Structure 1
Amino acid sequence: MHQAIHPSDPAHLPAARAIWDSFKDTSHFKIETLTLKMVSSQPKYDLIREVGRGSYGVVYEAVIRKTSARVAVKKIRCHAPENVELALREFWALSSIKSQHPNVIHLEECILQKDGMVQKMSHGSNSSLYLQLVETSLKGEIAFDPRSAYYLWFVMDFCDGGDMNEYLLSRKPNRKTNTSFMLQLSSALAFLHKNQIIHRDLKPDNILISQSRLDTSDLEPTLKVADFGLSKVCSASGQNPEEPVSVNKCFLSTACGTDFYMAPEVWEGHYTAKADIFALGIIIWAMLERITFIDTETKKELLGSYVKQGTEIVPVGEALLENPKMELLIPVKKKTMNGRMKQLIKEMLAANPQDRPDAFELELRLVQIAFKDSSWET
């Protein structure tokens, strides 16, 4: 099992239907061009095609009718408390961000649908529909009439280049791409942590590629950190509500994430935002050396570092939990690696989270390595 871990694993959703129209619901509905009405009078978006489906939602490519701009629309069926909790976590995280970052997926709007009734979601709303979802998440049981069809629709950036796994593993290793991706990811993480958001499920599958703005072959694609269903927004402390809490002092106890990217302290259930640093360390190490493993469920080849124990491969975090003094062999495939890069990866993967750099130090050090060491990868 190399899937995301959370209290309950929601089942895959059936394929979506066109809402606010007369289509009948079916688990294998062939999508032509569907109309998604966000207001009662005029349709705002047209759903073009299904582009993906995850553990708790279906994603479509869509266009804004007024501008013809492409967007992604993710439909989440709120039929189980687990789905509701994941959807609300994503909404709370993305709606809490007051500014945009080029490497973090942007939430244009979120629409709540109950049967034929729709309304725009807003954080802290006192609408009965929104409060029923919050109550469902808090109590762990459905707080509304189960005969009603509740859906959340997230309108976000459309990324046309797949995910980081697909992009890198379909191309030869490239130093320029590696450098660009490291800088983009560290910038995104510093931005999230500055906004008191701990992602908790950083992995190549959750990092999307946008190629639409590439005008020349010299430019690298834009990465966008996505999938905030397991994220946590750290609230202000009770002593001084006006003062933002440090994500590195915000302790969490729910063991969640995807095992090959989970820090040792996450397995124990007592961790901070430094767990995101560990996950990014796994991603960067795997990217630089093209270390992959095969997911036992999907049989897909995935980027991710690990430790070999006999014939078995073990997640680095799990191995460090068993033996915190274990020395990681970096590089494991290459003959050599730039000394400063090697040292930084080792610090990111330190068994003790206090020995890891925070996101702001990490961003600075990666910039220094990228621009001061012209041959950092050798």
Structure 2
Amino acid sequence: MEELYTLEREVGRGSYGVVFEGQMAKTGNTVAIKRLPCSNPECVELYLQELWAMRATAKNHVNVIALHSCLLQTGPRSLRPLKPGKLPLRLVESVLKGNVVGAQEGQERRNVQSNGLRRTNSASRFQDKTNTVQARAKLQDVVKSNDSSTPRRPLNRARKRSAQSEDEQDAPPRCLALWLVMEYCDGGDLNQFLLSQPPDAQRNHSVVLQLCSAVAFLHGLGITHRDLKPDNVLVCVTPKSPIIKVADFGLSKMSDGTASGDPTRQRFSSTCGSDFYMAPEVWGGLSYTAQADIFSLGVLFWAVLERITFLEEGSTQEQLGAYVCKGRSGWLIPLGEALWENADLQLCIPVKFRRAPPLPPAPGPATCALLLDMLAADPDARPLANQLESRVRSALNEDCH
């Protein structure tokens, strides 16, 4: 690894892997390096989806994270670059067979060794130290918030993607991990960046417009992200203005829906995403299209423009997100869940309940109308991604005048 890149420090850790800040050995340029351990076929499938989507986007849009290269790890110190357009066949085989290719052969080999046959030199023990994640918990309907000025998200509501991690055992050469080398974003994620400084309407408008452009680009390629949220939006700080980057394509799906001119033709069925940003049709277990991304953007835009936050379970770190507040005690219900239960629910934009100051100016009537369209319970009533940027610009200009 040292011949190609130097790992400087860990900058992020999630359900599936670890992200490091690193440097290219030849140029000294700073990069982000994401290690994805190939411990089970479910994880491998997500990794291949992410790799395929990032290769499709390449470096073609300023607001989508750029993939520089991908390396395949077959031993403790054995890495090789993957050729563009190629996938590691052993990983594809793992997904198709439903078990990690090479694991069974390794067990048979150890059985032979234990019977007194000649031992051969094997790779040194290789272990993955990523987080162990519990299976998806069943959602509760209502949970009381605490008395702080920032509402706290309900307990046990998480509907984020999850997977179990396993320690890698010594085995014949096989795919131990994928390493994705990407551009490095020094501003952190959107939560960290926006909530670390006073509200600024012009900055908020820039964030919203850049996200519109990124999602229009992805949908134009037939890519549905399926997990748009502030955690998956990164920020590059520049002297002029921050540059927003959509990242984390592990749950994304690619389709040929644009071939017929209709980007919403392809339908999906698996329930995935993060609860406070999931569309009503996803909550209800219905089939859905790329329009679910537009709902997620609507939640994100509302939170950014009004600086609406909640607290993640077990954390003191504020998160951007809009929701329905029920009852005197202020129970927090995700918008998608609330609209699934009651499609006629009237959302109040701007929000009128208690929030932590300082607050930005409330959205104008044109922006409020657009947000309501993006958050429509009926997916067909939401604007298409290729219409969104022009509609946002028009609404912001109208409200400014």
Instruction: Name the structure 2 match of 1:204.
Output: 230
1:136 aligns with 2:152: no
CA deviations on 1:217-276 (whole Å, 9 max, x unpaired) are xx2211111111111111469xxxxx3674311100000000000000112231111010
The residue aligned with 1:240 is none
Structure 2: segments with no counterpart, 5+ residues: 104-168, 353-358
- Larger Cα-atom Rg: 2
Partner of 2:142: none
| TM-score, normalised by the number of residues in structure 2 | 0.76
Deviations 1:99-119 (A, max 9, x none): 511110011111111114433
Are residue 367 (structure 1) and residue 383 (structure 2) matched?
no
Q: Deviations over 1:155-206 (max 9, x none)?
A: 0010011110011111111111111101110000001101111000000011
1:186-197 equivalences in 2 (<5 Å): 186-197=212-223
1:264 is aligned to 280
Aligned residues: 322
Residues 132 and 245 of structure 1: CA distance in aligned 2, closer, same or farther (over 3 Å): farther
User: Contact 1:207–1:226 at 8 Å: present in 2 too?
Assistant: yes
Pairs within 5 Å for 1:3-22: none
> Does 1:250 pair with 2:276?
no
Structure 2: distance between partners of 1:73 and 1:47:
8
Residue number among 322, 327, 336 corresponding to 2:346 in the alignment: 327
- Report the secondary structure of 1:160's partner residue: coil
What secondary structure is seen at the aligned counterpart in 2 of 1:269?
coil
Counterpart check, 1:86 vs 2:46: yes
Select the residue among 284, 307, 312 that pairs with 1:290. 307
Specify the alignment match of 1:125 in structure 2.
86
Task: Go from structure 1 to structure 2 and tell me whether the alpha carbon gap of 1:370 and 1:229 turns closer, same or farther (over 3 Å shift).
Answer: same
2:129 matched residue in structure 1: none
CA distance in 2, matches of 1:139, 1:353: 35
Once residues 287 and 133 of structure 1 are traced to their aligned partners in structure 2, the CA distance between those partners, rounded to angstroms, is 39
Do residues 105 (structure 1) and 65 (structure 2) align? yes
Q: Deviations for 1:119-171, whole angstroms, at most 9, x for unmatched residues?
A: 32346637xxx122112223432222264460100000100111100111111
Unaligned stretches of 5+ in structure 1? 1-35, 38-42, 238-242
State the Cα distance separating 1:85 from its structure 2 match.
1.8
1:344 aligns with 370
Within the candidate set 205, 213, 221, 2:242 is matched to: 221
Q: Secondary structure at the match of 2:180?
A: strand
1:88 positional shift: 1.1
Distance in 2 between residues matched to 1:96 and 1:62, nearest whole Å: 24
Query: 1:318/1:173 Cα in 2 relative to 1: closer, same or farther (>3 Å)?
Result: same
Q: 1:139 to 1:298 in 2, by over 3 A?
A: farther
CA distance in 2, matches of 1:317, 1:369: 24
Aligned residues of 2:306 and 2:362 also touching (Cα < 8 A): no
Q: What SS does structure 2 have at the residue aligned with 1:364?
A: helix
Q: Which residue of 1 aligns with 2:106?
A: none
TM-score (norm 1): 0.80
> Does the 8 Å CA contact 1:198/1:247 hold for their aligned counterparts?
no
Task: Please report how far the alpha carbon of residue 341 of structure 1 lies from its aligned counterpart in structure 2 after TM superposition.
Answer: 0.2
Of the three residues 339, 354, 357, the one matched with 2:380 is 354
Structural RMSD (CA): 2.0
Deviation at 1:208, TM superposition (A): 0.6
Partner Cα distance (1:295, 1:74) in 2? 24
